[in-house]
């Protein structure tokens, strides 16, 4: 049974999600929080497997709450976002979230994401990732910048190959391994190998952290040729 904590300041949203999740034989909503501080307290007391977390909440926002929950190891966090808060997504992932989805996500996609996160994997919604590129590419660090975070990320990339960086840029655009394979005209097994090498070389926990790194270095702003 996957034990879930819902954190959202809108009661109707929590009610809707609860009805969907409780209808699944392998899921149970064990708590609801209306603000980030309460989410942190309930995550500590209830020890859910997954926290479904909104970003904009009173008292303590979802990003700060995610950082505290992830640091304490109380649960894995799945962020829900809307387009107007996309600029906060990278910060949420850096805080330790295991993935993010659109807040108006289809029920089947939400259920799949919760199971993926519970299994210890990460999920990045391609629609959100591509929208991030469209709206916030001008805010990304410039490759070669001497900004602290950007410079450190560039240093980490120095040990990767050109093809690995190409794969990283496509991962950051939300493409699946199959889509990357089609784009680069290689097998999906080859792409999986490149992703594995990237995780190892960059010391990344999962695919989500690869996306964050790609944004920090400016690789996420590199478009695929049309």
Distance of alpha carbon 1 from alpha carbon 38, whole angstroms = 23
Quick one: which of 30, 27, 34 has its CA closest to 13?
A: 34
pLDDT of residue 225: 44
Q: How far is CA 40 from CA 35, 45, 68, 92, 162, in A?
A: 9, 9, 7, 15, 41
Mean pLDDT by 10 residues, the chain (226 residues): 96 94 96 96 97 91 92 90 63 80 86 89 70 55 52 76 93 82 93 92 82 78 50
Residue 54 C-beta-side C-alpha neighbours within 13 Å:
24
Q: Which residues make Cβ contacts (< 8 Å) with residue 185, sequence separation at least 6?
A: none
pLDDT of residue 226: 40
Q: How far is CA 49 from CA 68, 138, 146, 149, 156, in A?
A: 15, 37, 39, 31, 32
**Number of neighbouring beta carbons within 10 Å of residue 162:** 7
Question: What DSSP string runs through 107-131?
Answer: HHHHHHHHHHHHTT--EE-HHHHHH
Structure-token pair, residue 15? 């009610």
Element housing 97 (H / E): none
Given the structure tokens 């909104």, which residue do they identify?
54
Model pTM greater than 0.85? Answer: no
What is the per-residue burial (b if ≥16 Cβ within 10 Å, else e) of 190-208? ebeebbebbeeebebebbb
pLDDT of residue 67: 92
The answer to whether 217 touches 150, Cβ cutoff 8 Å, is: yes
pLDDT of residue 31: 97
Q: Which domains does the chain have, with CATH numbers?
A: 2-134 (3.40.50.2300), 140-221 (3.40.50.2300)
Distance of alpha carbon 120 from alpha carbon 140, whole angstroms = 29
pLDDT of residue 124: 74
Q: Which residues make Cβ contacts (< 8 Å) with residue 91, sequence separation at least 6?
A: 63
């Amino acid at each position: 049974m996957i034990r879930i904590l819902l954190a959202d300041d809108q009661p109707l949203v929590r009610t809707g999600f609860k009805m969907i999740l409780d209808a699944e034989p392998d899921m149970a909503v064990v708590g609801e929080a209306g603000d980030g501080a309460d989410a942190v307290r309930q995550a500590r007391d209830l020890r859910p497997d997954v926290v479904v977390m909104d970003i904009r909440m009173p008292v303590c926002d979802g990003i700060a709450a995610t950082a505290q929950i992830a640091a304490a190891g109380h649960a894995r966090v799945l962020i829900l976002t809307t387009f107007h808060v996309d600029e906060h997504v990278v910060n949420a992932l850096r805080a330790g979230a295991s993935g993010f989805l659109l807040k108006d996500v289809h029920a089947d996609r939400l259920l799949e994401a919760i199971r993926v996160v519970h299994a210890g994997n990460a999920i990045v919604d391609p629609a959100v990732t591509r929208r991030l590129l469209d709206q916030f590419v001008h805010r990304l660090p410039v490759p070669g910048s001497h900004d602290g975070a950007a410079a450190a990320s560039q240093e980490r990339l120095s040990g990767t190959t050109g093809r690995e960086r190409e794969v990283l840029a496509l991962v950051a655009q939300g493409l699946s391994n199959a889509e990357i394979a089609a784009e680069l005209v290689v097998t999906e097994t080859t792409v999986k190998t490149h992703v594995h090498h990237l995780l190892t070389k960059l010391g990344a926990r999962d695919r989500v952290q690869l996306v964050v790194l790609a944004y920090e270095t400016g690789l996420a702003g590199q478009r695929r040729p049309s």
